[in-house]
Structure 1
Amino acid sequence: MTTPSPSPRLAGHLLVECLIAQGVKDVFGVPGESYLAVLDGFHVHADAIRFVVNRQEGGAAYMAEAVGKLTGKPGVCFVTRGPGATNASIGVHTAFQDSTPMVLFVGDVASDTRDREAFQEVDFSAFFGPSTKGMAKRVERIDDAARIPEAVARAFMTAQSGRPGPVVVVLPEDMLTQAVPDALKALPALNPPQAWSDPGSLRSLRQMLLQARQPLVVAGGSGWTPQATSALHRFAENWQLPVANAFRFQDLFDNRHPQYAGDMGLGTDPGLRRRVSEADLLLVIGARMGEATTAGYTLLDVPVPKQTLVHIHVDAAELGRVYQPALSIQASMANAAKSLEGLTAPPDVPWAEWTASAHADYLASLNGAAAAKVCEGTLDMAAIIRTLSETLPPDAVISNGAGNFATWLHRFFQYRSLSQGLKIQLAPTNGAMGYGVPAGIAAALTTGRPVVTLTGDGDFLMNGQELATAVQHGVKTHVVVLLNNSSYGTIRMHQERAYPTHVLASDLRNPDFCALAKAYGYEAEKIEETSGFAPALARAMARRGGTLIELTFDVQALTTRQTLSGIRDAKGH
């Protein structure tokens, strides 16, 4: 008697099973007819994996990128061909520049219509272009359904290995409807390889530290774990080193620590800029030392800094890419931090006063008196951010998009460290507008932790529609603090500096944000006095669901240090 062969199932179902095997719990996307078989697979396996339906592919990609930041594992996004993929490209670019693990699946045209400029057809290898100047680490097309397990496992490994980043997997529509045997199984998730610091380089680093008089540590980049950041703290404490954080990686070192020196980013404190210039040893751990962190590549001389530069990074291609280090060490952050923690420190160091003064400079930058003058006649943003910093629970996530509004958060919010076990900062180092709202929603939906998003009026309107996604999928506590100055403030600032009084395209006529939020299903209230913010925040945090708090803000307060009038006066207008 013949034994019946296993009943076939759709390739789209197998793809979903592969995601489950990789440990994926939530995926984000906008449905498309090009991958209906995958959507059917999500329906079949709805008890094991959730498809979060978004309102626009850019928001979906941002949400996947945020999950990658929060977990260190690839966030997953599904979009359809052509317009869907191009909309999602902003999230891929963010993941690439932020070194965030992410996998974007793109439903594609059928194989028999390929290369005819079929409906919505795009050459995704050319568009996402895996290279040092591209948007993805790898772009792969699966033409054979039998190779789905291989391709998915490779995508996840590539996204996490070395310098983390995005991988794009293209799915021809007809391939997804192929029948595959039940014997074809998903491959298990693997841990990516970890590079270790070599002992000789560590000995050289120790000698450099012993010879230094004014050292400074700069920590940044991705790939950090709570254990690694704890080891970083112990290394800094053993050697009494001042530690600054790279642009938008402020949760790598506890901002309340007596050795914290501040963050290097947009609007870096003058005291920290001076300290970077005066340092004789600069130990950069994990950061790429990109344009924002180095103030347009001006804080360090290119290509050879006057400071003795030691650069530790997971990617060999990043070492010496812009700055020529005196010592390069290729290592993952988890292993680099363990190695540094093991370096024996001397009983005394000559830079104790240097470290103390670096922290004193940071504390002075928190003084809101000067910022209050900038805000004169409008809300005191320093006081509002201080309220957030002092009252939010330790596990609260803070997200933001791009714009001058974010400088208030970066300067006055004191981030706790990832060493406490939870990442709390979600911010795009590529300066992508519209990131904060979907990133915050993703954090609230996938972690259940309270989330506060700081956004500007222009920033919010790029992805504010994702509030509907939050409501549909049952967000628990998500608070959006919206600064409304009826302007693209960053552009206005640059216009006033480069073309004084020639204002064009930076003024905004906005909707009623509170009414808009309520239409989506959020609660909302408008605050016009500083004293009203703390009670409004308390009400929002106590409420189950989402809340938008609109802050009316004068365009005069362009930055934490300068007014619009001040910029004009400096130009003689």
Structure 2
Amino acid sequence: MTTSHTPSRLAGHALVEALIAQGVDTCFGVPGESFLAVLDGFHEHAQRIRFVACRQEGGAAFMAEAGAKLTGKPGVCFVTRGPGATNASIGLHTAFQDSTPMILFIGQVGSDMRDREAFQELDYRAVFGPNSLGFAKWATEIPSADRLPEYVARAFHVAQQGRPGPVVLALPEDMLTTPTTAPVLARVEPAQAWPAPGALREVRSLLLASQRPLVIAGGGGWTPEATHALERFAENWQLPVGCAFRRQDLFDNGHRLYAGDIGIGINPKLAQRVKDADLVIALGARLDEMTTGGYTLLAAPRPTQKLIHVHAGPEELGRVYAADLLLQSSMASAAKALESLAAPTQLPWADWAAAARADYEANQVPQPVEPLDMAAVVRSLTRHAPDAVYTNGAGNYSGWLHRYHRYGALHRTGRTQLAPTSGAMGYGLPAAVAASLLAPHRHVINLAGDGDFLMNGQELATASAYGAGREGGGRLISIVVDNGTYGTIRMHQEREYPARVSGTALANPDFAALARAYGWAGERVEATAAFEPALVRALERREPTLLHLVLDENVSTSRTTLAAIRGAALARQG
């Protein structure tokens, strides 16, 4: 479609204009010669949108995904063809499993070179399309400059509609340099599906027939208003609420109805409580392997508990579990609808809800470990930065953060947890850099293992290049827990093949010195008493800080995560 009043410009410039029209103000990526016209478009519109040049495409894709979680708007990432795209695939997979709206733009070979296996050529429809199971909701190639705005608008629709997720758009190099007068399209607003009134009456009937109900909140698509409505629904009905794996900021962890996180390292008492419930209301959660203890807390395909499953994506309903009631609804609509359900004056499960909270509180009592106690470390973080954005990747170290930190709810503090349900290593530092750039007024704290950190440690340079943690009053801190091993794998190795260590030992750098080389402050911490003063200094200085925590290898492989494994085993045996 063309109009006489739209000036002609390169399609690469039109693409940047289309992003601005969708409300995008920051894009992440690694530059490539395949989309030079787009980079020129960013230069042309530098006052309205910025391109953050990262040091590796995996880090860039993680930044876009984390930014989407933080802001609730689709994250945008640009990478070049072939190796750039495959490097970025880890962030794409994370966005898919985490139900995060994201657009990945990939430079493509020129149209006249297609299907010859030209330099770095890939068929992105085949690599990332829906049949690939787990990469993208939609993957395609923009065929012409005049249709570019149409494809961009559709991509934002698909990414946000139903179950949110990632979209891939390939950009032929010659298409981007073609002039077009096609106008950009208006900002996309996803339609909100509401649960049917009859279904709401059935929800109320199932609640009234229950004695031991439990809510599990998870998934994507939550807004501050939705988490507030969830809280009021729980209070109206006095319902204990557990949060799905790495979704702990959907419900205030300090609330008297919060029962704990339902994921890896679950409190064994909470695992038993899920099994003992006679009604489970799953709001937004896919009820995946991590949240269900390998599909044992809720037996698949037909749980022993009554199950109400509410999800925005119709393809998820009934996919694994045959529920008693299936409701297709966005979380924004479902939570508001549930909040309106009238509760009776007397409810029979007050003791059940109180016991769930008591079990959570009891699980918060640590067993001190010296010389460096990670539970005490996390408690110090909570005291000094209770409303910070906390990020982490994958590894045993994350168990301390999930267990001992009390995340604030989205509607009270903004997003406080950015973590991959996909279990991707290397996520935490790029996520922290993105959060610091997008919310410079907030403290952002990354907790990483030594193996996890070096997956994307080069993004320290991106933070320095763009002043992350230096403006707006917020501080950027990365805490590296160094036990000289791939702790999670070592733990499983010791369990399956005791005393036969192979491939899991790490030779690490001086992380504090490494940070200083990138322009960060760096400190080494070896004792519990030294951590809090180091944290206070980090919160007071202007430059970002890396704290290098040195741990014995047996601390994370035995005390924390073997306990988690035992808890999971008990949950399965129960």
TM-score (normalised: structure 1): 0.95
Q: Distance in 1 between matches of 2:450 and 2:397?
A: 9
Q: Distance in 1 between matches of 2:402 and 2:69?
A: 18
Task: Give the alignment's Cα RMSD to 1 decimal.
Answer: 1.7
**Per-residue deviation, 1:562:** 4.7
**Per-residue deviation, 1:131:** 3.7
**Per-residue deviation, 1:558:** 2.5
Matches within 5 A, 1:425-504: 425-448=417-440, 449-476=442-469, 477-504=475-502
> Is the 1:239–1:349 contact (alpha carbons within 8 Å) kept by the matching residues of 2?
yes
Matched, 1:417 2:409: yes
Which residue is equivalent to 1:176?
A: 176
Q: Distance in 1 between matches of 2:524 and 2:162?
A: 46
Matches within 5 A, 1:99-114: 99-114=99-114
* Structure 1, unaligned runs of 5 or more: 569-573
Matches within 5 A, 1:22-37: 22-37=22-37
Q: Distance in 2 between matches of 1:220 and 1:560?
A: 29
Which residue is equivalent to 1:402?
A: 394
Superposed CA deviations along residues 262-282 of structure 1, whole A, max 9, x for unmatched, are: 000110001101101110111
**Per-residue deviation, 1:296:** 1.1
Given candidates 523, 528, 531, the residue that maps to 1:530 is 528
Of 552-561 and 218-227, more deviation after overlay is shown by: 552-561
Residue 242 of structure 1 aligns with an amino acid whose one-letter code is P
Q: Distance in 2 between matches of 1:6 and 1:281?
A: 57
Q: Percent identity at matched positions? A: 60
**Per-residue deviation, 1:512:** 1.1
Matched, 1:253 2:246: no
Q: Distance in 2 between matches of 1:313 and 1:98?
A: 14
Which residue is equivalent to 1:362?
A: 360
> Is the 1:77–1:104 contact (alpha carbons within 8 Å) kept by the matching residues of 2?
yes
Partner SS, residue 411 of structure 1 = helix
Partner SS, residue 31 of structure 1 = coil
Residue 69 of structure 1 aligns with an amino acid whose one-letter code is K
Given candidates 190, 193, 212, the residue that maps to 1:192 is 190
Residue 437 of structure 1 aligns with an amino acid whose one-letter code is L
> Is the 1:407–1:559 contact (alpha carbons within 8 Å) kept by the matching residues of 2?
no
Which residue is equivalent to 1:126?
A: 126
> Is the 1:217–1:242 contact (alpha carbons within 8 Å) kept by the matching residues of 2?
yes
Which residue is equivalent to 2:472?
A: none
Distance change in 2, residues 1:280/1:164 (3 Å): same
Residue 408 of structure 1 aligns with an amino acid whose one-letter code is W
Distance change in 2, residues 1:320/1:566 (3 Å): closer
Q: Distance in 2 between matches of 1:266 and 1:496?
A: 18
Superposed CA deviations along residues 392-417 of structure 1, whole A, max 9, x for unmatched, are: 052x1000000001001000000011
Residue 21 of structure 2 aligns with an amino acid whose one-letter code is A
**Per-residue deviation, 1:8:** 3.2
Of 437-446 and 412-421, more deviation after overlay is shown by: 412-421
Which residue is equivalent to 2:216?
A: 218
Q: Distance in 2 between matches of 1:457 and 1:112?
A: 46
**Per-residue deviation, 1:190:** 1.9
> Is the 1:556–1:565 contact (alpha carbons within 8 Å) kept by the matching residues of 2?
no
Distance change in 2, residues 1:305/1:561 (3 Å): farther
Superposed CA deviations along residues 174-209 of structure 1, whole A, max 9, x for unmatched, are: 11011123xx22111121011101111111110111
Partner SS, residue 251 of structure 1 = helix
Q: Distance in 2 between matches of 1:252 and 1:566?
A: 23
Q: Distance in 2 between matches of 1:301 and 1:490?
A: 26
Q: Distance in 2 between matches of 1:138 and 1:262?
A: 35
**Per-residue deviation, 1:557:** 1.4
Partner SS, residue 64 of structure 1 = helix
* Structure 2, unaligned runs of 5 or more: 470-474, 567-574
Residue 105 of structure 2 aligns with an amino acid whose one-letter code is F
Q: Distance in 2 between matches of 1:495 and 1:169?
A: 41
Partner SS, residue 250 of structure 2 = coil
**Per-residue deviation, 1:134:** 3.4
Matched, 1:549 2:547: yes
Which residue is equivalent to 1:311?
A: 309
Partner SS, residue 556 of structure 2 = coil
Which residue is equivalent to 2:572?
A: none
Distance change in 2, residues 1:215/1:40 (3 Å): same
> Is the 2:253–2:260 contact (alpha carbons within 8 Å) kept by the matching residues of 1?
yes
Of 554-563 and 68-77, more deviation after overlay is shown by: 554-563
Equivalent residue pairs, number: 557
Residue 204 of structure 1 aligns with an amino acid whose one-letter code is E
**Per-residue deviation, 1:545:** 2.5
Structure 1 segments of 4 or more deviating over 2 A? 4-8, 558-568
Q: Distance in 1 between matches of 2:330 and 2:15?
A: 30
Distance change in 2, residues 1:388/1:210 (3 Å): same
Distance change in 2, residues 1:6/1:313 (3 Å): closer
